[in-house]
Amino acid sequence: MLDIHFIRENADLVKEGARKKKIEVDIDRLLAVDDDRKRLRGELDEKRAEQNRASKLIVLAKDEEKQKLLEAMRHLKAGMGEMEEQLAKTMEEWQKLMLSVPNIPDMSVPEGESDADNQEVKKWGVIPEFSFAPKNHIDLMVNLKMADFERGTKVAGFRGYYLTGDGASLAFAIWRYAQDFFLKKEFVPMIVPSLVRREAFMGTGYLPQSEEDLYKTQDAEYLAGTAEVATMGFHMDETLQKEELPKKFLAFSPCFRREAGAHGKDVRGLIRVHEFYKWEQVILCEASHEESVKWHEWLNRNTEEFIESLNIPYHTVVNCGGDLGLGQVKKYDIELWVPGENTYREISSASYFHDFQTRRLNTRYKDENGEMRFAHSLNSTAIPTPRILVSIVENYQQEDGSIKVPEVLVPYMNKTVIAK
C-alpha cells in the first residue's frame, strides 16, 4: 500500500506506474473520496466538540433551559449518526481504492504487456545435444516408476500426482541439499503455516485481487500458494530495532494454488500442479532503495548459484511492467531449460516491494534517530518441487531411459543413476 500523502503529491507518477503495470485504478476518484473522508472527519470532530460543550452546560442548566439543551443534543446526535454512516461508506470506498493502487515500478523495468515481453538479462550453461530423441519427464518418470499421474488424478483430481520410489527420493534429496546450500548464507530456517488468516494475505497483496487463485476453508482461512505469506506475517504489527535488520528467513511449506487463470495450460505432468513444496527466501531490510536493490540482486544470485551447482542451463529475465504484481517494484524470473519442450520454463521469481507490504502489515522499526519507519521487504524462490524435477530428469536423461543423478545430489541419493 502506498501512503495517501505520497499518492496525493505524486498523482501523475502513480498513474504512470499503474499504466506501465497495465492495472486499472481511478486515482482521481481516490483523491476525491479522500477529500470527502477528511471533510467528514473534520465535521464530525467539530460536532463531537460541540457535544462535549453541550454536555457540560446541561449539567449546570436548570428546568426549561435544560430541556432546550437536551432537545438540541438529540438533534445533534441524530445529525452525527447520519454523518457517521456517511463516513463509514466513504471509508469503505476509500479503503477499497487504496488497496487497488499498485506500487510504482522501477525505472529499469521494461515496457510490456505480458511474460512474452520479459527481457533476457543473462544466459548460463550449455543446452544439451542428445544423440537420441529425448523424452519428456512424464514418459521418463512413469517408465522408471518415479511418478504416477493416473492414480494421482484418481485420488486428487485434475493436476494430481504421486511421486514414488526414486521420484520421491529425488525430491527429498533436493530439499536436503537446498537446506544445506542456502543455510550457508546465514538465513534463519523456518517451517511456516500453509493455512493462513486473511490479514496476512491482505498484507502481502494477494488479497483482495487474487482471491480466485486461493483455496478457502469453511473457517474463512486460506491455503497459501507461497511461504512468503506466512513468513511476512511473522512480524505483522510489530516494531523491530534497526540493529535486527536485515532479517533473512529461509522458509519451507507446502503450497496450494487453484491455477484458476491457467485453464488449458500444462495440463499434464509436473510443470503446473495444485499442490507442491517450496523453499522461499524472505528479507526485511532498512527503508532504503539502495538496500532493497542490493538484497534483490543477492537473492536472485543465490538461486542462480544453486541452479549452476546442479549444472542445468538457465536464463534470467527481467519482468516487464505488464508481468509485475500489484506490489512489486522489480522482479527477475529464472527459467530452466526443458528439453522436452525445447524452451525455458520458470523456476524462480525474485522481487522487491519497498514498504508496500510492510505498510499493510504494520511492520516497522526504529531508525538511528528513533523515528518509526516501515521496513522494506523482498522475497525469492529458493527452489520448488516437483517442478525442478522436470529439468533434472529431462536434462540428465540417457539413451537407455535412465537418469544420471546430478553430482551434488549423489550424497543425498546414495546412487549415481536412476534406472529400472
Question: Active-site residue among 41, 210, 346, 402?
Answer: 346
Query: Hey, what's the torsion of the CAs at 402, 406, 410, 415, to 10 degrees?
Result: 10
Q: Which helix (DSSP H) or strand (DSSP E) does residue 366 occupy?
A: strand 363-366
Q: Which residues pair with 30 in a beta bridge?
A: none
Question: Active-site residue among 159, 345, 387, 391?
Answer: 387
In sequence order, the 6+-apart residues with CB closer than 8 A to the CB of 284 are: 235, 240, 245, 246, 247, 358, 363, 375, 376, 377
What does the DSSP assignment read for 321-354?
A: GGG--SS-SEEEEEEEEETTTTEEEEEEEEEE-T
Report d(CA 390, CA 312) in Å as an integer.
11
Active-site annotation holds for 348: no
Active-site annotation holds for 387: yes
Question: Active-site residue among 169, 194, 257, 373?
Answer: 257
CB 137 within 8 A of CB 394: yes
Report d(CA 387, CA 385) in Å as an integer.
5
Question: Active-site residue among 221, 272, 275, 309?
Answer: 272
CB 93 within 8 A of CB 87: no
Active-site annotation holds for 257: yes
Pairing state between β 417-418 and 403-404: antiparallel
CB 403 within 8 A of CB 417: yes
262: number of CA atoms within 13 Å, CB side? Answer: 14
Report d(CA 73, CA 71) in Å as an integer.
5
Active-site annotation holds for 391: no
Active-site annotation holds for 359: no
Question: Active-site residue among 349, 351, 380, 391?
Answer: 349
| Residues identified as active-site | 257, 272, 346, 349, 387
